[in-house]
Amino acid sequence: MPTYRPDLDAVPSYTLGKPIGEVARELGIDSIDKLASNECPTEPFPEVVEAIAASGTTVNRYPDSGQYELTKALALHHDVEPSSIWVGAGSSEVLRCTALSVGGTGTNAVFAEPSFIMYRIATLVAFATPIAVSLDDRFDHDLDAMLAAITDETTIVYICNPNNPTGGIRSGEDIRAFIDAVDESVLVVIDEAYGEYVTDPSFASMIDQAPLLPNVLVARTFSKIYGLAGLRVGYGVGHPDLIAKLRVTQPPFAVTTPAQVAALAALPLRDSVAERAEANAKGRSYLTAELSSRGYRVANSQANFVYFEPQDDAVGLFDALLREGVIVRILGKGVRVTVGTPAENERLIHALDDVVAS
């Protein structure tokens, strides 16, 4: 038997949303809506599909390991220098490589809980100690408590804005004040994976600030509003010196050619992205209103999902909804549901009513 790391069992596994095919086989249900993984409910844009298809004839060659064209396009898109852009195989890879670059034995990382599970996973993989700080009573990051949790051994702090799984945000003013209060020896990672969905005017992306500061990294992804979750492409934005150091732990050829060309094709489609954001906002408002009217405690989401706490057993509710053909995500005592198409959103509410009635 191989010799494993003694702390390996302490690293949590990423919980995947149940695949549609698996549920169909288990329960014998033909029509299933998956509202568990915060995926875009519509197919990639036609221009993107065409670009992916055209790239198929090139996959006998290794991809551009420096992601030159995509890096240049992202720099132009955000009005920053290319040296401030770091492309990875999804924002999760950017987060993991960042943890490896600043972590190590004797260090720790601070993050909110509940929040994106990858912060804890990346911390433990990097041999660092996780320090989880509870959300406040509004399901938002408690920035004062997070600031107080930082110690001399802290090398990284994660802020998920909007937060996954609750969807809440902290204002641009709050985030900037937090950054100013953190010593420059501590890296502040602002995870804006759901930033394109935000409609609250108090929100402000830190992308314009990150390249000017030595210790701030903003993470973004093409997996959500751009609908490229299956291709795994994301990126980080930060000071050129920071980017150069962090990407040392990234393996070569990390981002496939189809992923790079798909992202390149999707990035200029600002109007189409805005239409998706508008549709998501309508669906989010519908779900929030319907769930609230039924007495659930619902978080104020600015993302493409809604988080609520049922009065009774969340696991039991998950199982009952599954039998109705609706897949959601259970997180502790809360339930997170992805904003789907109007038909999917209505089916969820009707299924919920049927479950409660029975």
Block mean pLDDT (10 aa), the chain, length 358: 84 71 67 90 96 96 97 98 98 98 98 97 97 96 98 98 98 98 98 98 98 98 98 98 98 97 98 98 98 95 96 83 91 93 97 89
Q: C-alpha dihedral over 289, 167, 115, 349, to 10 degrees?
A: 30
Question: Residue 339's pLDDT is what?
Answer: 98
Considering the segment(s) 47-266 as one domain, its CATH architecture is 3-Layer(aba) Sandwich (3.40)
Phi-psi region of 205 (alpha: psi -120 to 50; beta: other; left: phi over 0): beta
Q: 11, 50, 27: which is closest to 128 by C-alpha?
A: 11
* 124/128 Cα distance (integer angstroms): 5
Question: Residue 164's pLDDT is what?
Answer: 98
Question: Residue 1's pLDDT is what?
Answer: 85
Please name every residue paired with 336 in a beta bridge, in sequence order, or none if there are none: 307, 329
Question: Residue 33's pLDDT is what?
Answer: 87
**Residue-by-residue DSSP string for 106-145:** T-EEEEEESS-THHHHHHHHTTPEEEEEE--TTSS--HHH
* 227/215 Cα distance (integer angstroms): 30
CATH class of 8-44+271-357: alpha beta
SS3 (DSSP) at 44: coil
Q: 21, 19, 39: which is closest to 30 by C-alpha?
A: 21
Amino acid at 69: E
* 35/350 Cα distance (integer angstroms): 14
Q: 130, 127, 108: which is closest to 119 by C-alpha?
A: 130
Which pTM was predicted? Answer: 0.94
Question: Residue 264's pLDDT is what?
Answer: 98
Domain boundaries in the chain? Answer: 8-44+271-357, 47-266
